Amino acid sequence: MKTIKGLLGVFGIWLTMAMMPLSELLTVPPLYASWLRGLSGFVVIGSWALVRPGLVSKPDFNTIKVVASFALATVCLFQAIEAWGANFSALFLDLAVIVPLGLLVCRGGNVGLSTIVAFLVALLGTAITLRIFQGVTFNLLGLFWSLGAMLTNGLVIQFAGEAKQENWNKAFWMSAGLVLVGIPAFFLESLNVGAGSFSLGMWLFLLVLFAITTGMLNFYSSFVAFEYLGSVAVGVLVLGVTPSIMTASYFLLDRSLGWDQTIGVVITLAAVLMFGNSLRKSE
């Protein structure tokens, strides 16, 4: 039953991250998008805590490590995207599971063959989906920031598996950290309210939907997955995020998928679903 709950958490991560293309649809700049993701959880969970005492408490050291690592990962990712685009940045982010895998090995733990195979196959599918093999101009700055994003996001995966406070409490502090990271948006970016072909009411509705799903609900789903599956398993299974975002872009942004990208999506999803099924059967 624990594995089922963990897999539902992973499925929640896929669904909530599939809403990320809404930021592009609404022309919301990256830092503003981060700030809004954090603001949703900070306001909603904070308000809930007023009528449910004990929901939010002082963060312990492990929770602080998760929040700090996530803040650094967010900064590194935005810098990497600016330096050499989203595709290679996303691929390096998918490599983040190498960090908890390496720490597990260093501590004398065993990494199952199914984990390694699932990771490599899913990574191949992701690379095909992102059309990595079509080549890119080498960019040392992009490589630097991408490695930073990979390492810090890997620490997020590791620390999230170690943080044992209540999940809503961790989601609240994760949101608070993202609010702080997004503050520079007010000085560096401009938000065009009501941009696009939507009425102001619809634009605001979609903006709130984006903020709540990719923020508060995504964070909570993530911590549920980590609680029941552990860092390494979740690190492999979240490789399904890239196909979910690409598929959502097809419907939300009318962005077509080439035949090669469709194959990549199928490979990645097949790998992570088979891995998830093996976890369920081994429980």
- The predicted-structure confidence for 55-112, as pLDDT tens digits, reads as follows 999 999 999 999 999 989 888 888 887 787 766 777 787 888 888 888 887 887 777 7
Mean pLDDT value of segment 214-234: 92
Count, in order, helices (H) and strands (E) of the chain. 15, 0
Its pTM stands at: 0.87
Taking the C-alpha atoms of residue 138 and residue 28, their distance in angstroms, rounded to an integer, is: 28
Run of H or E including 278:
helix 259-282
C-alpha triplet 266, 1, 270: angle, nearest 5°: 10
Which pLDDT belongs to residue 136? Answer: 57
Which pLDDT belongs to residue 25? Answer: 87
pLDDT over 70 percentage in the chain: 95
Which pLDDT belongs to residue 212? Answer: 96
Which pLDDT belongs to residue 59? Answer: 95
pLDDT-derived band at 211, boundaries 50, 70, 90: very high
Question: Residue 151 pLDDT more than 60?
Answer: yes
Question: Residue 177 pLDDT more than 90?
Answer: yes
Please choose, from the candidates 219, 210, 264, 258, the residue with its C-alpha nearest in 3D space to the C-alpha of residue 239. 264
Domain count, the chain: 1
Which pLDDT belongs to residue 281? Answer: 62
More confident residue, 250 or 137: 250
More confident residue, 1 or 28: 28
Which pLDDT belongs to residue 258? Answer: 84
pLDDT over 90 percentage in the chain: 37
Taking the C-alpha atoms of residue 151 and residue 96, their distance in angstroms, rounded to an integer, is: 6
Taking the C-alpha atoms of residue 115 and residue 125, their distance in angstroms, rounded to an integer, is: 15
Of 135-139, 190-194, 213-217, 266-270, give the lowest mean pLDDT range. Answer: 135-139
Domain with 177 in it = 2-282
Question: Residue 113 pLDDT more than 60?
Answer: yes
Which pLDDT belongs to residue 9? Answer: 94
Question: Residue 280 pLDDT more than 70?
Answer: no
Mean pLDDT value of segment 149-169: 91
Per-residue CA distances from 231 to 6, 51, 223, 225 (Å): 11, 32, 10, 9
First CA to last CA across the chain, in angstroms?
8
Question: Residue 128 pLDDT more than 70?
Answer: yes
